[in-house]
Chains A and B, each alone.
Chain A
Amino acid sequence: MRKNDVFSGLLPFALVALFLCVSVVAQQKPVALRGGKLLTVTHGTIENGVLVIENGKIVAVGAANSVKIPKDSRVVDVSGMTVYPGLIDSETQLGLTEIQAEEMTNDFIEPSDEIMPHMHVYDAFHAESELIPVTRCNGITNAIVAPGSRDTLPGQDSFIQLAGKTQEDFLLVRDIAMPLNFSGEQRRNQGSFEHRKFPSTRMGLAAQLRQAFLDAQDYAQKWSDYEKKKTDYDKNNSNAEPKTDASSQAENKDKDKKQPPMPPKRDLKLEALLPYLQGKKVVVLGTEEANDLQAAVGLAREFNLKFVLNHISHSQSVLDYVASLHVPVIVGPIYEDPKPEERYDAVYSLPAQLSKRGVKIAFASYGAHDARNLPYQAGFATAFGLPYEEALRAITINAAEIWGVAESLGSLDLGKTANVVVANGDPLDMKTDVKRVFIDGQEIPMQNRQTQLRDRYRNP
């Protein structure tokens, strides 16, 4: 595509984006959602319930006869509706793409090297993306944004909410986690022998990864040595009261010769790995088949990484092993095609199989344009044995717990952030129409580029 085409093509969306991004209606007074069926997620279903939102928080939730609605509330009758917490998508590329086939609108991955932990999706995140209003109008209020999975360490994820004025409002937790992909897909130097360069195999990728973590450990050591020296130096220097006698003057003269220790040169790439090596943040291990899964877990253990599993779509033979790890699994997409030797429902039934073994699961769309369809994946998994309650948890509270935000998100509980959805039926069925969405207590206009096109051509 020629440059001019790109610009002339993108201009109209920029204008619409401008209009839509100032989309959060300021909340004037408390809002009381009255008469709906509340799916609280953490404490069951409340038929004919009331939920009150004030200052961005859920300040009351319960049966209609037990909740006192504040006098100055805007009361919204939601009888016949279902009210549930905003849905959380545990991996998307929202804000990193506009039109997949148009390279200039994509910021998925920095492909110059397999080890790029110092790439931060927040630096690319485009809060004005037209995809975000489309997604949130279907009740998805929060998401992980992850870089592409083509490389071993492509960068760090951010956790977002799908509303706000600028990216500052959207980016709730920057660098929340780091994907470590080891699915075989990362071998990008395959091909004839004469064209191969390191690393071209899983062995190469693993060695490269180990070296990176070793380098980071050395780097951490250098800094800790420096910190220690500096502390000593500072201590010595701050103790050095001005002395007047001759001997101490000589001593001071010696000391003056000793320069303060020089800090090591900063290395952003190695620095990025430190919180993960120190177990302060979680690594998201992306694998598909059993052999890759076990190799990746081995690598994570070599460096004591704290990890969760991602995908594991074709690891049905080792699910007991997965359960024995006692880590959550981001599962899917369950629409992943089965392998030729697998039964048609091998991937569809994976969430149920994991849940049955006590594994905490969360769903992800792993997409951007289709992130709005996240809840249907959860619904479909129930047709293959996943209990309904667990399916709903897997796109709400489980996700919130996995990402460490359960104190404020993932359920209709007192004091939590008011990310609340009102729909005319079962949230997991695609026939259900989402009617209202609140994010951070603000009601979102149910408009996006697609509704505008619809309205323009429906009522010409």
Chain B
Amino acid sequence: MFLRLPVLRAQQIAAVGLTMIAVSTLAQDTPPTTHSEVLIRNAVIMTATHGNIPEGSVYIKDGKIAAVGKDVSAPASATIIDAGGKYLTPGIIDSHSHIALDGDINEATSPITPHMMMIDAFDFQDKSIYHGLAGGVTTSLLLHGSANMIGGQAVVIKHKYGATRDAMLFLGAPRSIKFASGENPKRVYGSKDQLPSTRMGNFEVQREALVQAQDYMREWDAYNAKVKNGDKDATPPKHDLKMEALADVLRGKLLVQIHCYRADEMLTEIAMAKEFGYKLRAFHHALEAYKVADQLAAAGVGIATFSDWWGFKQEAWDAIPWNAVMAMRKGVKVAIKSDSEDFARRLNQEAAKTMRYGGATEQEALQMITLNAAWIIGVEDRVGSIDVGKDADLVIWDGYPLSSYGVPNRVFIDGDVYFDRSLPGLGMPHYKEGM
């Protein structure tokens, strides 16, 4: 369920009460759809779930994958695209991005800001959306930064550059919240002589916030019980956006995504989640996951990691390029993510490195930038593989995608071509300069 928070007034918040704050069915501007039925044929289909289909076809109807296989029939009305023997993969999914936020990444004025909504900063005209698209990225999780122990709530977008803002929002994606740990919060607040400036302070600030949220929930429970018992004089507690968001963490309504480098901090976060009864979705960066992979697997926490970045800060000093595969072999769900506009343009190459460092199979490497990334975002039923019923987010590649040489030739989102390398100018059928 996608949560869209326009400018909320206190009264509106009060009106919707304690459950979900505002679930708006967005008036969806239909993207410029040129084809309602498409047959892509003569492709080497890398499905990401059930191996490769040489000389395969994909039939797309109403933006969804309607059929996949060696022999696929389509009505005569379908537009036929001959892939010319090129590779076809699911659209790439970036499970950790800060693009298109106009620099509004960190509300670094308090270590606890769970009520920040990244959608409020989303700049649908930012060219980095196009740059990712041209690299085959079709879906991105735009996260709050890591200045705060508990940052804001993410927005999930599809890279339909040239479409309207609302058409770019991934409808139905679950809500994710960003937690952080380690050096960034302690540096940001330490430099202001505030709490936290140590890892002790970091975790204490986080624990304190969760305890407050428990108190807040108890106050409301007590009030609701009074109302239920017919107490007409009961006064409602104050609505507090920040506490609401944390309460939703405790209620399990938010996917918790934690920026975390060191192994010890991952274990502490797992323990704290257990203590307060919420579940963690993924550790992001997670460069020391290989040291505690058994524990991550047991807790059911995934990782969104870099392929081979290291040494840029002290807590990245023990990073090794075998991290992704070592964690995967222990049963951890692993995604390779960008965390940068630059790497978002060539995540396929970053995934390919896992085949060399640790020997991921082709499909395992591909899953790290498709299906597993979709799982981290919580949209694995919608995107991330070439399977019937999923959104037709697809990439036709020039060259072998898991190599130095793979470059997207065409990128489809919801069955429509949003990037075509053969076109002049920027290569986008739906984009006009000055939109």
Question: Which A positions have Cβ atoms within 8 angstroms of B?
Answer: 1, 9, 13, 98-102, 130-131, 335, 337-338, 340, 343-345, 368-370, 372-373, 376, 379-380, 382-384, 428-433, 450-451, 453-454, 457-458
| Bound: A383/B408 CA distance, A | 10
Q: Is the CB of A369 within 8 A of B320?
A: no
Q: Is the CB of A380 within 8 A of B312?
A: no
- If A340-B127, A380-B346, A450-B321 touch, whether A101 touches B355 (CB-CB below 8 Å) is no
Q: Which residue of A lies closest to B317 (CB)?
A: A99
19 additional A-B pairs beyond A9-B317, A379-B404, A428-B404, beta carbons within 8 Å, are A1-B314, A9-B314, A98-B311, A99-B312, A99-B313, A100-B311, A131-B311, A335-B346, A343-B426, A345-B134, A372-B308, A379-B403, A380-B349, A430-B404, A431-B353, A450-B310, A454-B290, A458-B290, A458-B322
Q: Which of B345, B399, B403 has the most chain A CB atoms closer than 10 A to its own CB?
A: B403
In the complex, which residues of chain B have a beta carbon less than 8 angstroms from the beta carbon of A428?
Answer: 404
Q: Is the CB of B312 within 8 A of A369?
A: yes
- If A102-B314, A454-B320 touch, whether A344 touches B131 (CB-CB below 8 Å) is yes
In the complex, which residues of chain B have a beta carbon less than 8 angstroms from the beta carbon of A344?
Answer: 130-131, 134-135, 345, 426-427
Q: Is the CB of B406 within 8 A of A383?
A: yes
Q: Which secondary structure dominates chain B's binding surface?
A: loop
Distance of A421 from chain B, by nearest CB (Å): 15
Show 7 A/B contacts (Cβ-Cβ < 8 Å), sorted by A. A98-B311, A344-B427, A380-B404, A383-B407, A430-B353, A431-B353, A431-B403
| Bound: A63/B356 CA distance, A | 29
| Bound: A99/B352 CA distance, A | 26
Contact with A along B327-359 (1 / 0, CB 8 A): 000000000000001100110010011011000
Q: Is the CB of A343 within 8 A of B425?
A: yes
Q: Which residue of A lies closest to B341 (CB)?
A: A337
Q: Is the CB of A431 within 8 A of B352?
A: yes
Q: Which residue of A lies closest to B404 (CB)?
A: A379
Q: Is the CB of A430 within 8 A of B131?
A: no
In the complex, which residues of chain A have a beta carbon less than 8 angstroms from the beta carbon of B290?
Answer: 453-454, 457-458
In the complex, which residues of chain B have a beta carbon less than 8 angstroms from the beta carbon of A338?
Answer: 127, 131
Contact with A along B399-435 (1 / 0, CB 8 A): 1001111110000000000000000011100000000
Q: Is the CB of A430 within 8 A of B398?
A: no
Q: Is the CB of A450 within 8 A of B405?
A: no
Interface residues of B in 139-191 (CB under 8 A from A): 183
Q: Which residue of B lies closest to A13 (CB)?
A: B317
Q: Which residue of B lies closest to A384 (CB)?
A: B407
- If A335-B346, A340-B127, A457-B326 touch, whether A99 touches B311 (CB-CB below 8 Å) is yes
Distance of B86 from chain A, by nearest CB (Å): 13
| Bound: A383/B406 CA distance, A | 7
| Bound: A12/B322 CA distance, A | 21
In the complex, which residues of chain B have a beta carbon less than 8 angstroms from the beta carbon of A450?
Answer: 310, 319-322
- If A344-B426, A344-B427, A430-B353 touch, whether A369 touches B311 (CB-CB below 8 Å) is yes
Q: Is the CB of A376 within 8 A of B134?
A: no
B309 close to chain A: CB less than 8 A: yes
| Bound: A99/B312 CA distance, A | 5
B310 interface neighbour in A369, A430, A451, A454, Cβ under 8 Å: A369
CB contacts between A and B, total, < 8 Å:
108
B291 close to chain A: CB less than 8 A: yes
| Bound: A102/B346 CA distance, A | 28
Distance of B350 from chain A, by nearest CB (Å): 9
- 5 closest A-B pairs by beta carbon, nearest first, are A379-B404, A344-B134, A101-B313, A369-B311, A450-B320
In the complex, which residues of chain A have a beta carbon less than 8 angstroms from the beta carbon of B427?
Answer: 343-344
| Bound: A458/B321 CA distance, A | 13
In the complex, which residues of chain B have a beta carbon less than 8 angstroms from the beta carbon of A454?
Answer: 290, 320, 322, 326
Interface size in chain B (residues, C-beta < 8 A): 44
Distance of A1 from chain B, by nearest CB (Å): 8
A370 interface neighbour in B135, B309, B403, Cβ under 8 Å: B309
A383 interface neighbour in B128, B131, B317, B399, Cβ under 8 Å: B399
- If A335-B342, A344-B130, A453-B320 touch, whether A430 touches B313 (CB-CB below 8 Å) is no
Q: Which residue of A lies closest to B353 (CB)?
A: A430
Q: Is the CB of A429 within 8 A of B405?
A: yes
Q: Which residue of A lies closest to B263 (CB)?
A: A457
In the complex, which residues of chain A have a beta carbon less than 8 angstroms from the beta carbon of B399?
Answer: 383
Distance of B310 from chain A, by nearest CB (Å): 6
Q: Is the CB of B405 within 8 A of A383?
A: yes
Q: Is the CB of A337 within 8 A of B403?
A: no
| Bound: A420/B68 CA distance, A | 47
Q: Which residue of B lies closest to A391 (CB)?
A: B404
| Bound: A380/B406 CA distance, A | 8
Distance of A180 from chain B, by nearest CB (Å): 26
Distance of B134 from chain A, by nearest CB (Å): 4
| Bound: A338/B134 CA distance, A | 12
Distance of A343 from chain B, by nearest CB (Å): 6
Distance of B15 from chain A, by nearest CB (Å): 42
- If A344-B426, A376-B349, A450-B320 touch, whether A337 touches B398 (CB-CB below 8 Å) is no
B318 close to chain A: CB less than 8 A: yes
In the complex, which residues of chain A have a beta carbon less than 8 angstroms from the beta carbon of B131?
Answer: 337-338, 344
Q: Is the CB of A337 within 8 A of B349?
A: no
| Bound: A130/B308 CA distance, A | 15
Distance of B403 from chain A, by nearest CB (Å): 5
In the complex, which residues of chain B have a beta carbon less than 8 angstroms from the beta carbon of A102?
Answer: 313-314
Q: Which residue of A lies closest to B291 (CB)?
A: A457
Distance of B51 from chain A, by nearest CB (Å): 19
Q: Which residue of B lies closest to A424 (CB)?
A: B356
| Bound: A345/B133 CA distance, A | 12
Q: Which of A13, A99, A100 has the most chain B CB atoms closer than 10 A to its own CB?
A: A99
| Bound: A440/B280 CA distance, A | 51
In the complex, which residues of chain A have a beta carbon less than 8 angstroms from the beta carbon of B353?
Answer: 430-431
Q: Is the CB of A429 within 8 A of B404?
A: yes
Q: Which residue of B lies closest to A375 (CB)?
A: B404
B398 interface neighbour in A13, A376, A383, A457, Cβ under 8 Å: A383
| Bound: A131/B356 CA distance, A | 20
Q: Which residue of B lies closest to A345 (CB)?
A: B134
Q: Which residue of B lies closest to A428 (CB)?
A: B404
In the complex, which residues of chain A have a beta carbon less than 8 angstroms from the beta carbon of B128?
Answer: 337
In the complex, which residues of chain B have a beta carbon less than 8 angstroms from the beta carbon of A13?
Answer: 317
A453 interface neighbour in B318, B342, B398, B407, Cβ under 8 Å: B318
Q: Which residue of B lies closest to A433 (CB)?
A: B356
- If A432-B356, A453-B320 touch, whether A101 touches B342 (CB-CB below 8 Å) is no
| Bound: A232/B426 CA distance, A | 70
